[in-house]
Structure 1
Amino acid sequence: MAAERLSGLTVAVVIPAYNAEEFIATTLRSVVDQTHSALEIIVVDDGSTDDTASICREFAAADPRITILSTENRGVAAARNAGIEASTADYIALLDADDLWHPTYVERMLSALHPLPDAWGAVYALHRLVDSEGYCTKSGSSLSARGFILIRHLVFRFVGNGSAFMVRRAVIDKIGGYDSSYANQGIGGCEDFDFQLRAAEHFKIEAVPLGLVGYRVHSAGMSADRSRMARSLLAVYEQFVARNAQLPVFVVSCARASAHLYAFSKFAAVKDWHSAATSLKHIYRHSPLLAASIITKLIFSKAIRAANKLLSKVRPVRRQKRKNLKKFEEIDPLIPLVGGWSRFRTRALFTRLSEIDRCSGESIATSRR
């Protein structure tokens, strides 16, 4: 009976798409093939100049659940907001136009969130990294938490992308939609993390700790602009700290270290050493030992790359085919993800932040009575 009740619940799927002709068909196919069929699929064509719209129209002609909205190019946040505003379902799932869902994604997410009280506003899943051809190249982090997760999510960033989050409409009513000001400042890219944090400030969050999302990494993706992604994440953190003045000093220090660890890796990758040095200073303030380990790792990695480059000239190595890789849809989602812990994201830090989350959650619960 419970499964029958869930099957009658409609979920709005909002897909912002800008010049996504290479991947939009496989993304839409992963949606229309969901085991939960009561879907309101809204594709927002964000001013595409390629064949994105025509591909979507072909799908819409064959599936009445699909609606296409056409807007001028305003960025992913505004596109998501337009799709959310056009939807009517009580549950809203966001999906980027180049990512993939496992066929059971909506069913598992809805089954996790719907039975919970209204204080639980959202649910997230984990992900596997997928290349341009749909092969899984790497496991995403295996770490997750549930309940009041605000502080832990701030530091550990459990979700990792914008395609693994489903919310009740009550969340939109409470916090509004996605913040388009990042794109207006030229630092769009982490609006999904900003949205998740604002949701976690007011609601409990459930977790489905399975790799149900194929997060595609490719040269044309928004995340490929490393410098912009770094500046976007730093801006999200600073906005969060500014509107949460009551945060303990330790949490602020951890939050900034987490953001600058990410930023340092992105700045170093594009050889923006001035910005990388600025991030390293913030990391040093949090932990001199952590900063020293980063410098050591950077030196060794550069030496290894130089050695490999020299060896490749002497003895060219044939590029191996993807014989050991599987397509995303071929992988059983019950196969555990691996990794997530690091010199910074330790079990001890997780435990300490869990206690802060617990106390914060009790305070919020008390204030609501």
Structure 2
Amino acid sequence: MSESVNNEILSKSTNILPLVSVIIPAYNAANFIERTLNSVINQTYTNIEVIVVDDGSQDGTSAIVQSMMQKDQRIQLLYQTNAGVAAARNLAIKQAQGEFIAPIDADDIWYPQNLAKQVQRFQESDSSVGLVYSWSVVIDSEDNPSGDFHISEYEGDVYIALLYKNFLGNASSTLVRRSCFDIVGLYDCEFKAKGCQGCEDWDLYLRIAEHYQVRIVKEFLVGYRQTTSSMSHNYSSMVNSQQSVLALIQKKHPEIPHVIYRWSCSLFYIYIARKSSVSGKNIETLLCLYKALKLDFSMTLLRHDLYIQPIKIFLNSFTRTFEFLFPNNSKFLIKNQDNYPQNLKIENVEKIIKLKRILPAKIYENWRINWLSKKIAVQKYRVTG
């Protein structure tokens, strides 16, 4: 299968495989950088250069990368004093020679055919397509699927859908046409200066979606790592980062109805509520759900998180109370050790997608996005016509 994909790409590119520049920002990434690099150099698509930027690490990150460089000459290592993920990615892009840029974070992994399938989608498209993304599965510290995943079916003109939510899922799922950066610019380093890092990739994707079409590879080809430590972020900083992006869009596009910003903030609070719940932060979970409900009452009522998260909190509290009062009888409790099943059944994805399509929240969401897209298209026509 992998050979046929590469052969098809080869025949469509005048016998030359386009070079893909893989860019990896790394800060104290010693725990996972070797696995990340192995997943990159073992891609079935072989015409790649791999640029790792050590962002002022204080652990063994550079030593591990240097060791990998002895095994594979496609890997190169750059250094900078700690300046943040955006600056690290920008440095790599400026150094890159490829026709396509493939970002991946230093703790994530790609499955073998990710780049081949993404390049193939570009080869099947015209120059109006600037970005291709793959589906992601959430993995734990041992690379095992947790059972959670990121799937979306949005493609084409996705600006409004992407403004509503970052359906791409993470910063490791995309392949970007190099020429896009000449039009939209690089990653915005100002988020770090403002103390609100976290949405640099979403900001870039929005700028790309303004000018280009988006395509999708409907396969799980990215392993997005989430561990207990990675979930203990400063959630207020994440919210500030998301709201900073929305503020930039409001200033840039005053014609977009402000209601979408409330919807987007509400949905982001639901996302933070999930992460807070996994981290055991019950008060933060309930507070985020309240804020989501306040910002977007009708949609939040349709979302299962509004009901499931409080139930989980109650059951966990009951379990801890029971164990404290009756320590010798705790064996009778059914403990939920994991939030998701350990093995994601890929073969059931089509069933999951079909189920999502008929959920009231999804139907309502699609109606909203279509309504806003048509409304904004009319307003733009009136301005320019």
- Per-residue CA shift, 1:8-50, capped at 9, x if unaligned? 2110000000110010000000000000000011000111111
SS of equivalent residue, structure 1 residue 21: coil
**1:103 paired residue number:** 112
Residues 68-217 of structure 1: matches in 2 within 5 Å? Answer: 68-217=77-226
The corresponding residue for 2:267 is 258
Distance change (3 Å), C-alpha of 1:242 and 1:222: farther
Q: State the match for 2:366 in structure 1.
A: 350
Q: Structure 1 residue 290 and structure 2 residue 300: aligned?
A: yes
- 2:342, 2:274 → 1: CA distance? 26
Question: What is the CA distance between 1:200 and its match in structure 2?
Answer: 0.9
CA drift at 1:194: 1.3
Q: Structure 2: which amino acid aligns with 1:217?
A: Q
Asked whether 1:336 is paired with 2:349, we answer yes
Q: Matches of 1:160 and 1:95 in 2, distance apart?
A: 13
Give the match for residue 27 of structure 1: 36
What whole-Å deviation, never above 9, does each CA across 1:29-81 have from its counterpart, x for those lacking one?
Answer: 00000000000110001111111001001111121111100111111111001
Alignment of 1:280-319 (within 5 A): 280-281=290-291, 283-287=293-297, 290=300, 297-312=308-323, 313=327, 314-316=329-331
SS of aligned partner of 2:239 = helix
Q: What SS class does the counterpart of residue 315 from structure 1 fall into? A: helix
Secondary structure of the 1:303 match is helix
What SS does the corresponding residue of 1:336 show, helix, strand or coil? helix
The amino acid across from 2:296 in the alignment is H
2:179 partner SS: helix
Alpha-carbon distance, 1:4 to partner: 1.8
Report how far residue 113 of structure 1 moved: 1.6
Q: Give the Cα–Cα distance (whole angstroms) in 1 for the partners of residues 336 and 239 of structure 2.
A: 31
- Report if the CA contact (8 A) 1:212-1:333 is conserved: no
Find the residue that maps to 2:349 and give its secondary structure. Answer: coil
Aligned match for 1:46, one of 51, 55, 61: 55
| SS in structure 2 of the partner of residue 232 of structure 1 | helix
Q: If the length of structure 1 is used for normalisation, what is the TM-score?
A: 0.85
> Which letter does structure 2 place at the counterpart of 1:284?
K
Q: Is the CA contact 1:94–1:162 (under 8 Å) kept in the aligned structure 2? A: yes
Q: Is the 8 A contact 2:163 2:264 kept in 1?
A: yes
Q: Distance in 2 between matches of 1:43 and 1:352?
A: 41
Quick one: distance in 1 between partners of 2:46 and 2:199? 30
Unaligned runs of 5+ in 1: none
Are the structure 2 counterparts of residues 43 and 363 from structure 1 closer, same or farther at C-alpha, using a change threshold of 3 Å? farther
Q: Distance in 2 between matches of 1:206 and 1:289?
A: 27
Q: Is the 8 A contact 1:226 1:270 kept in 2?
A: no
User: Which amino acid in the other structure matches residue 201 of structure 1?
Assistant: E
CA drift of 1:165 comes to: 1.0
Q: CA deviation at 1:251?
A: 2.6
Once the two structures are TM-superposed, the CA of residue 256 in structure 1 deviates from its matched residue by 2.9
TM-fit CA distance, 1:219: 3.6
Q: Does the residue aligned with 1:346 lie in a helix, a strand or coil?
A: helix
Instruction: Report SS of the residue matched to 1:306.
Output: helix
Taking the aligned partners of 1:289 and 1:113, their CA distance within structure 2 comes to 35
Distance 2:25 2:39 in 1: 15
The structural deviation recorded for 1:151 is 1.0
User: In the aligned structure 1, how far is the partner of 2:88 from the partner of 2:299?
Assistant: 43
- Gap change, CA 1:34 and 1:334, over 3 Å in 2: farther
Contact 2:267 2:292 in 1 (8 A): no
Q: Supply the AA of the counterpart residue of 2:95.
A: A
Q: Is the 8 A contact 1:125 1:165 kept in 2?
A: yes
Bigger CA drift: 138-147 or 245-254?
245-254
Name the residue aligned to 1:3: 9
Matched to 2:316, the amino acid is: R
The answer for unaligned runs of 5 or more in structure 2 is: 1-6
Once residues 302 and 223 of structure 2 are traced to their aligned partners in structure 1, the CA distance between those partners, rounded to angstroms, is 34
Larger relative contact order (Cα-Cα within 8 Å, sequence gap ≥ 6): 1
Structure-2 change in CA distance of 1:283 and 1:104 (3 Å): same
Identity %: 27
Residues of 2 paired with 1:32 and 1:271: CA distance? 41
- Where 2:105 maps in the other structure, the secondary structure is coil
Report the TM-score, using the length of structure 2 for normalisation. 0.82
Equivalent residue pairs, number = 362
